Amino acid sequence: MNIVKTKLPGVVIIEPRVFGDERGFFLESYQKEKYQEAGISLEFVQDNHSRSGRNVLRGLHFQINKPQGKLVRVTAGEVYDVAVDINPESETFGEYVAVVLSGTNHKQFYVPPGYAHGFCVISETADFQYKCTDYYDPSDEGGIIWNDSDINIDWPISEPSLSEKDKVNQTLKVYAESLK
């Protein structure tokens, strides 16, 4: 597998080795020792799978007191996936990294604990799967508004389909102020 480092500390794009022929393909989607060698050493405790339609945008989400690291991939369809540094003490605070994940490119994206994460679907539908380093706790969730002008994410869609809670997420500036 190939590990592509990004400008955000700990955030990496993983390009697994894919073995394919006219019958299909095979890849290792996770192998603990190889991922540890790549710097992904936290234990994964929960796997999730979501399916969403075109223009659905989920995020930007994070856990406040029990942050989750996420190893994400798309098994069918295509998404534009984003990680945002939300640590006000970080040199890359407010910066983001994005990658297109699809069922055909087989890339994975590792988002360590302490980052906000979100994605939008750019195909008809997409199956999104991810491993988490901590358990989801609905009482601990936080969110940054998807179109925060201070982050200025270059989303490939302009009118996303959002959940009611994602419509009212706070700005990064308000979140940072709440930490003081």
163 contacts 58 by C-beta, under 8 angstroms: yes
- The DSSP string of 13-33 is EEE---EEETTEEE--S--HH
3-state SS assignment for residue 101: strand
Q: Indicate the burial class of 92 (C-beta count within 10 angstroms; 0-12, 13-18, 19 or more).
A: middle
Query: Which residues does the annotation mark as catalytic?
Result: 61, 130
Residue 97 pairs in a beta bridge with 83
Phi/psi at 152 (5° precision): 60, 55
61 contacts 142 by C-beta, under 8 angstroms: yes
The DSSP letter of residue 81 is E
Query: What count of other Cβ atoms lies within 10 Å of the Cβ of residue 101?
Result: 22
Instruction: Give the distance, in angstroms, between the CA of residue 33 and the centroid of all CA atoms in the same chain.
Output: 22
